[in-house]
Amino acid sequence: MRRWLLLVLRAVLAVVFLYAAYSKLRQPWLLFAMAIDAYRILPQWAVMTLARALPWCELALGILLLTGFWLRQVALTASLLLVVFFGVMLRSYAKGLEIDCACFGLGEALSVKTLLRDGVLVMSSVALTVLAFREARYAPTQI
Amino acid sequence: MGKPMSRSLLFLCCALAAGMVELQSAKGAITEIVKSTGTFTAPISIEVFSDFQCPSCKALYEGTLRPLEDDYVATGKVYLVHRDFPLTMHAHAHEAACYACAAGRIGKYEAACSVLFKQQGVWSVDGKVGDTVCSVLSPSEAKLVRQWATDPQITASIEHDIQLGHTAKVHQTPTMVITYKDQHYPVSGAVNYDLLRRFLDQLLSK
C-alpha cells in the first residue's frame, strides 16, 4: 500500500513539474521574468537568473521524480521549492497584489484556487518526502 | 406582384442591417483611434486593458507606459491601444472610463487619463470623477464632456472593450496583450519597464 502511494505521488508530482517546465519553456523567458518581477520580492538580476533557471530545474525535478533516482533528495528539494512557492504566493495574495500566479505559464491569476492547488501540491510533496525517507529506513537498498 | 415586393423588402432589410453593422464597426474604429497612439503599421501592437481605479494600472501607466510612448511609440516601433476594462469591484471605474472616452472626442483622452491616474486616490474616495477630468479642460470643453459622458455610444464603446478583453481572456487589470507577427503575448500586472523594453527589443531583433 505504501509502495503504491509512493508511486502515485511520484508520478503526480513528476507530471506537475514536467508540465510546469513545459509551459514556461514554450514561451519567451522574459515573459516569465515579468511575471516573477510582479511579485516584487527579488532584485532584477535575481529575477532574470531565476526566469532562466527555474524551468530547467523543474524539468530536472520532473525527470528525476519519474525515474526515481535519488528519491529522498529529490523529494526533499521538491518540497522545499513548493513550500517557498506557496509562501511567496500566500504573501502576495495577503498583500492584495493582482498578479499572475505564473505557476504554469502565463494567464492564470493568483487566487484562492491557485493557493489551494499549491497547498495540495505542498502536502503531496511532503508526504512523498516522508514516505521516501521511511522506505529508505526499512529497505535502504531499494531506494 | 407580391413576390417582387417581398424581394425588395428583403433587400432593403439586408441593406439596412449591413449599414448598421458598418456603422457599429466604424464607431468602434473611431473609439480605437481616439484611444490609440503611434503608427497603425508599427511592427508591434500593444493593447492595454486597464481600469482607472486600479492601483496597479496607475503604476503601469506612470512607470511603464509613459517611457514606452517616448521610446517605442514615438519612434514607430509600437502601436499602443488603450482598452477600458472597468472592474465591478471598483465603484467609480466605469464612470471614469466614460469621462475619459468623452474627453477623447475633443482630443483630450491622454490629458484625461493622466489626471485620472494622478488623482486616483482622491476621486476613488470622494467619487468626483467628472470634476477631476474637467479640471484639465476649458469650461466649454467641460460642458461637452459632461454631456457626452452619459452618451449610450460611449457606454457601448466601453462594453466593446470589455468584450474584447473577455475574448482575449483578460481576467485582471492591468493586462497588456502584445502582438507581434500574429503571436499574442498576454502580460499582467504593473510590468517593469526595463524587462518590457528587453522583451520588445528581443521581438524586434527577430
| Band of pLDDT at residue A2, cut at 50, 70 and 90 | confident
Q: Is 90 exceeded by the pLDDT of residue B103?
A: yes
For an interface test with A, give the residue of B90, B167, B170, B195 to mutate (most A CBs within 10 A): B195
Q: Is B168 on the interface with A (CB under 8 A)?
A: no
Element (H, E) at A115: helix A112-138
Mean pLDDT, rounded, for B149-155: 91
Which of A24, A26, A29, A34 to probe the B interface (max B CBs under 10 A)? A34
Asked whether residue B198 carries a pLDDT value surpassing 90, the answer given is yes
Chain A within 8 Å of B145 (Cβ-Cβ)?
A: no
Q: What is the pLDDT of residue A105?
A: 81
Mean confidence (pLDDT) of chain A: 91
What's the whole-number mean pLDDT along residues B9-37?
54
Put simply, the answer to whether B189 touches A97 (Cβ < 8 Å) is yes
If pLDDT is split at 50, 70 and 90, which confidence band does B21 have? very low
Using a pLDDT cut of 90, give the percent of chain B over it. 69
B7 pLDDT higher than 60: no
Mean pLDDT calculated for residue range B138-145? 92
Angle, CA of B114, B89 and B60, to the nearest 5°:
35
| Per-residue cell: A73 | 533528495
Distance CA A34, CA B175 (A): 12
B186 interfaces chain A, CB cutoff of 8 Å: yes
Whether B18 shows a pLDDT value over 60: the answer reads: no
Measured between beta carbons, the chain A residues lying within 8 angstroms of B191 are 34, 37-38
| pLDDT band of B8, cuts 50, 70, 90 | low
Cα angle value B202/B82/B28 (rounded, 5°): 120
Say which amino acid occupies B64.
T
Average pLDDT across chain B, whole number: 86
pLDDT grade for B22, boundaries at 50, 70 and 90? very low
Residue B1 in this model has a pLDDT that exceeds 50: no
* Mean pLDDT value across residues B111-131: 94
Predicted ipTM > 0.95: no
Between chain A and chain B, the number of residue pairs with CB atoms below 8 A apart is 60
Nearest CA in chain A to B190: A38
Question: Is the omega angle on the peptide bond into residue B186 within 30 degrees of 0, that is, cis?
Answer: no
Residue A63 near residue A2 (C-beta atoms within 8 A)? no
**Is A98 close to B192, i.e. CB distance below 8 A?**
no
pLDDT in tens, A17-64: 999 999 999 999 999 999 999 998 999 999 999 999 999 999 999 999
Distance from CA of B189 to the nearest CA of A (A): 5
